[in-house]
């Protein structure tokens, strides 16, 4: 399947699908943290490509109920409305199978309740971090490895330059469950060996690269694996 992992720069979910034989590409405003197919830019740029599935991790800063004390200011300057609009744009983009991941947030009221709330300890990580999943055309995830331990590691992280990145990363056990249960292992299919050529990704151009190429007189800007 052709799978888009939107708002991901870690490559964790993307690579879980690639390891099982799927054509997956991540997309984020930030560069990918590990080599792999990645579009650095606005995910809305690539929604019209014929994806079979998309897993989105939209920014939660202005939506999460953990920041309720700041909601009045965020409504006043439009940040919350913009974030909610972006969330709904992803939900209604028309890709056949969609999963949207976010913490407990106001989208349960503005749109609809999530189909599922999962915890890391259901997938081999003895920690707590309630994660909501809004699903379209996909079944709820089944727990794969329930383990003891309910450490609130994410909540207790001290302030640092990387705190936001670390808090937003998908746990490997959850990424593996998504890939296995929603995609399956293509490599076990006899048809996997019959694919004649790799599937090409959409022609994506990085504005920064295009500007650089224009100055040099050379064609450029095409994005390849980071």
Identify which of 171, 173, 172 has the alpha carbon closest to the alpha carbon of residue 153.
171
Using CA atoms, how far apart are residues 106 and 84, in angstroms rounded to an integer? 9
Q: Which of the residue ranges 2-6, 129-133, 191-195 would you say has the lowest mean pLDDT?
A: 191-195
Q: Which residue has the higher pLDDT, 135 or 208?
A: 135
Asked whether the whole model's pTM tops 0.85, one would answer no
Domain boundary assignment for the chain: 2-216
User: What is the rounded average pLDDT for all residues in the chain?
Assistant: 84
The topology (CATH level 3) of 2-216 is Rossmann fold (3.40.50)
Residue 193's pLDDT band, with cuts at 50, 70 and 90, is: low
Cα–Cα distance list, 153 to 177, 185, 189 (Å): 21, 31, 39
Question: Tell me: the pLDDT tens digits for 104-124?
Answer: 999 999 999 999 999 999 999
Give percent of the chain above pLDDT 70: 76
181 CB-near residues (< 8 Å, 6+ apart): 139, 141, 142
């Amino acid at each position: 399947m052709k799978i888009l992992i939107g708002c991901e720069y870690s490559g964790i979910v993307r690579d879980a699908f690639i390891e099982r034989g799927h054509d997956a590409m991540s997309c984020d405003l930030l560069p990918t943290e590990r080599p792999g197919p990645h579009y650095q830019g606005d995910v809305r740029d690539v929604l019209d490509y014929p994806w079979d599935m998309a897993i989105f991790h939209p920014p939660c800063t202005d939506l999460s109920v953990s920041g309720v004390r700041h909601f009045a200011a965020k409504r006043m300057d439009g940040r919350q409305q913009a974030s909610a609009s972006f969330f709904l744009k992803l939900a209604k983009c028309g890709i056949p199978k969609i999963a949207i991941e976010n913490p407990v947030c106001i989208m349960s009221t503005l749109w609809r309740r999530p189909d599922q709330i999962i915890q890391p300890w259901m997938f081999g990580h003895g920690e707590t971090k309630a994660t909501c999943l809004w699903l379209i055309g996909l079944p709820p995830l089944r727990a794969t490895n329930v383990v003891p331990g309910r450490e609130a590691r994410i909540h207790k992280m001290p302030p640092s330059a990387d705190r936001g990145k670390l808090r937003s990363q998908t746990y490997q056990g959850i990424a593996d469950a998504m890939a296995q249960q929603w995609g399956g292992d293509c490599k076990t299919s006899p048809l996997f060996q019959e694919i004649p050529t790799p599937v090409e990704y959409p022609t994506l151009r990085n504005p920064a690269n295009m500007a650089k190429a224009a100055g040099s007189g050379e064609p450029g800007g095409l994005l390849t694996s980071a």
